[in-house]
Amino acid sequence: MKILVPVKRVVDYNVKVRAKSDESGPDLSNAKMAINPFCEIAIEEAVRIKEAGNADEVIAVSVGDSSSQEQLRTCLALGADRAILVETEESVEPLGVAKALKEVVSKESPDLIILGKQAIDGDANQTGQMLAAMLDLPQGTFASEVEIQDGIVQVTREIDGGLQTLSLTMPAIITTDLRLNEPRYASLPNIMKAKKKPLETLSSSDLGLDLSPRQNTLKVAPPPERAAGIMVEDIEQLVDKLKNEAKVIT
Amino acid sequence: MSILVIAEHDNNELKIATLNTVAAAKEIGGDIDILVAGMDCETVADSASQIPGVGNVLLANKETYKNSLAENIGNLIVELSEGYSHIMAPATTNGKNFMPRVAAKLDISQISDISAVISNDTFERPIYAGNCIATVQSTDTIKAITVRTTGFDACESSGGSASINSIDNDTNAGVSSFVKEEIAESDRPELTAAEVVISGGRGMQNGDNFSLLNGIADKLGAAIGASRAAVDSGFVPNDMQVGQTGKIVAPDLYIAVGISGAIQHLAGMKDSKVIVAINKDEEAPIFSVADYGLVADLFEALPELEAKL
């Protein structure tokens, strides 16, 4: 069984991103970049499935510019067997990413595709579902537990009211939520080994794809500022303020 | 302009998130239809028909739609999409699940989680955990949109008289099936709809200590939430998580107890009208968004707060 894991290079989750002062976009100059945390959970899950003897190969794939090779190497260090970069210079919307991934899927024919549920930059939460629809495959989104047996994958999903379990025929698409697993750290020997693992580069034009954006970003602005608050001395003062100043309790 | 809103419901009850979504649709303007897809969900269709401003309620009442499987619902919406300029659903886990399938099938670029309507093709949406607000204009002929419910006050729920039309489409994809659901039963208001929310974080130390929040929640009619740290540590279930990737809340009063205030948590609650933070660490980032901060040991502060309310 083959598992494909699409991953994205994003700003590190600890960086507080601000809008540029001319509101033309987010200010990402010198920001630390990393693999999207949900994608890291996806790689971890795929590697665990392989380690449990339920898969033979884990392939990491990314759609982005050449710097995404860095994140693909991270995936290789975490246990992926090989990697594919679909190289594109412009930023691609989730619809375009899904189209590029569809081409990779038709070349590789994986039995399972595991993605992060959302990237922490655009917060779109679309790519996995879009890819599933394009391939007419079932999806188990926001997964907190995955169980594979006999061509069926059972996925427990984190939904608004609690948990839901679905049974999907394979091939299937899974998107990860936070509780699915705790990703390992790459060991130094594995980081060294990863440098020798195959990393293939395709260009989006070779795939014959039109990935041009359908949305124009007119501006990117900071959120409304909150007025500075005050520190209260004790509970008595707090309750008094909430009653008589903020008037949110009676 | 003709807008199709997908109703959020559990086959028994129309959820308020639907009213927030209709409110966003009204800001776009035009005819509004509501799709109620489910099983034995006639009462939901009745409720939907009473929302003022709704023209038609489309009722797809079939086993195929009982558990809102994304494959089946997605295909249904695609079949119904002709003639609509906008297809909208609340950005609940349900809406997030099926809407991208609809967008992909129709070859359109979805606009996720809109927090404001600028015009019929231009919307605001938070990115980077809400640290930036992007204004995006869609060039697609049909707009597929999910709506951040805290961005739009719920519209009226009664006074309208839409016609209810049963539709016979059956779009069972046959690739997924429902196994089970564990839905938390609670007498408290829903987290995303509550006027008051009190949340606990890692500082609560364990799940049992969350009971310290109960008495206060009872007195304030509050919902109880949690930070990711508290959920990851197993103190409380995942459906209580407030944050970038959990629930987005904007109550009149949000009380954060023992929560340090990571960017990801702030993303889920910083649009609350009044924020109270109780934390023993005076350096905790949560105080930077709090209207009222109290540096205190929560194990002393919570019983005292309960007594004083």
In chain B, which residue's Cα lies nearest the Cα of A95?
A: B109
Is this structure's pTM higher than 0.90?
Answer: yes
Provide the pLDDT for residue A30.
Answer: 92
How many A/B residue pairs have CB atoms within 8 Å?
267
Residue A157: its chain B contacts at CB < 8 A? Answer: 93
List the single residue in A with minimal CA-CA distance to B73. Answer: A133
Question: Which tens digits make up the pLDDT trace of A119-170?
Answer: 999 999 999 999 999 999 999 999 999 999 889 999 999 999 899 999 999 9
B292 in contact with A at a CB cutoff of 8 Å? yes
Is the CB of B108 inside 8 Å of chain A's CB atoms?
A: yes
Tell me which residue in A123, A126, A230 faces B127 most closely, judged by beta carbons: A123
Q: How confident is the model over A169-193, as pLDDT tens digits?
A: 999 999 999 999 999 999 999 999 9
Please report residues of B whose CB lies closer than 8 A to that of A130.
100-101, 103-104, 110
Contact status of A132 with chain B (Cβ, < 8 Å): yes
Whether the CB of B12 is below 8 Å from some CB of chain A: the reply is no
> What's the pLDDT score for residue B149?
94
In the prediction, which pLDDT does B185 show? 81
CA proximity to B278, closest of B266, B269, B287, B289: B287
Q: What is the β-pairing status of strands B274-279 and B292-295?
A: parallel
What is the pLDDT averaged over residues A205-218? Answer: 92
**Residue from A159, A170, A241 to probe the interface with B (highest B Cβ count within 10 Å):** A159
Low-confidence ranges of chain B (pLDDT < 50): none
Can you tell me the ipTM of this complex?
0.95
For B176, the closest chain A residue by CA position comes to: A168
Answer yes or no: are the C-beta atoms of B227 and B200 closer than 8 Å: yes
* Closest partner CB to A133 (pick from B92, B105, B140): B105
Which is nearest to B9 in space by CA: B80, B71, B61? B61
Which of A140, A214, A218 is the closest to B140 by Cβ?
Answer: A214
The answer to whether the Cβ–Cβ distance between B109 and A94 falls below 8 Å is yes
Nearest by CB: A238 against B126, B184, B294:
B294
Q: How confident is the model at residue A104 (pLDDT cuts 50, 70, 90)?
A: very high
d(CA A159, CA A137): 20
Question: Tokens in use for A217?
Answer: 């970003």
Residue B183, pLDDT score: 87
Interface subset of A 183-212, CB within 8 angstroms of B: none
A215 → closest Cβ in B67, B137, B177: B137
Own/partner pairs, B236-239, CB within 8 angstroms, 24+ separation: B236/B200, B236/B207, B236/B210, B237/A162, B237/A163, B237/B184, B238/A144, B238/A158, B238/A162, B238/A163, B238/A177, B238/A178, B238/A179, B239/A158, B239/A159, B239/A160, B239/A161, B239/A162, B239/A163, B239/B184, B239/B191
State whether A17 and B128 contact (CB < 8 Å). yes
Residue A250 predicted with pLDDT over 90: no
Q: Which residues of B touch A239 (CB under 8 A)?
A: 305, 308-309
Residue A196 above 90 pLDDT? Answer: yes
**Out of A93, A142, A232, whose CB is closest to B294?**
A232
The tokens describing A126, both together, are 């679309």
Q: Measuring CA to CA, which residue among B235, B232, B238 is closest to residue B205?
A: B235
- Residue B63: CB atoms within 10 A of its CB come to 12
Contact at CB, B130 and A223, closer than 8 angstroms: yes
- Between strands A215-221 and B86-90, the pairing is unpaired
CA distance, residue B4 to nearest chain A CA (Å): 20
**HEC sequence for chain B:** CEEEEECCECCCCECHHHHHHHHHHHHHCCEEEEEEEECCCHHHHHHHHCCCCEEEEEEEECHHHCCCCHHHHHHHHHHHCCCCCEEEEECCHHHHHHHHHHHHHCCCCCEEEECEECCCCEEEEEECCCCEEEEEEECCCCEEEEECHHHCCCCCCCCCCCEEEECCCCCCCCCEEEEEEEECCCCCCCCCCCCEEEEECHHHCCCHHHHHHHHHHHHHCCEEEECHHHHHCCCCCHHHEECCCCECCCCCEEEEECCCCCHHHHHHHCCCCEEEEEECCCCCHHHHCCCEEEECCHHHHHHHHHHHC
Considering only CB atoms, which chain B residues are within 8 Å of A166? 69, 176-179
pLDDT value, residue A112: 98
Stretch among A107-121, A205-219, B162-176 having the lowest mean pLDDT: A205-219
Q: What is the pLDDT, as a whole number, of residue A227?
A: 84
Burial A136-152 (b: 16+ CB within 10 A, else e): ebbbbbbbbbbebeeee
The pLDDT, as a whole number, for residue A126 is 98
Distance from CA of B186 to the nearest CA of A (A): 10
CB-CB contact of A153 with A110 (8 Å): no
B239 CB within 8 Å of a chain A CB: yes
Interchain proximity B252–A248, CB inside 8 Å: yes
Chain A contact for B220 (CB, 8 A cutoff): yes
Q: In whole angstroms, how far apart are CA B112 and each of A109, A160, B83?
A: 29, 17, 21
Q: Exposure string (b/e) for A178-194, b if CB count within 10 Å is 16 or more?
A: bbbbebeebeeeeeeeb
Q: What's the gap in Å between the CA of A15 and the closest CA on chain B?
A: 9
How far apart are the CA of A181 and the nearest CA of chain B, in angstroms?
Answer: 10
Listed residue (B87, B110, B117) closest to B6, CA to CA: B87
Q: What is the DSSP letter of A196?
A: T
pLDDT value for A207: 87
Distance spanning both ends of chain A, measured CA to CA: 61
Task: Assess whether pLDDT exceeds 90 at residue A206.
Answer: no
User: Is the CB of residue B21 less than 8 Å from the CB of residue B90?
Assistant: yes
Across the strands, what pairs with B31? B2
Q: Note the pLDDT of residue A116.
A: 98
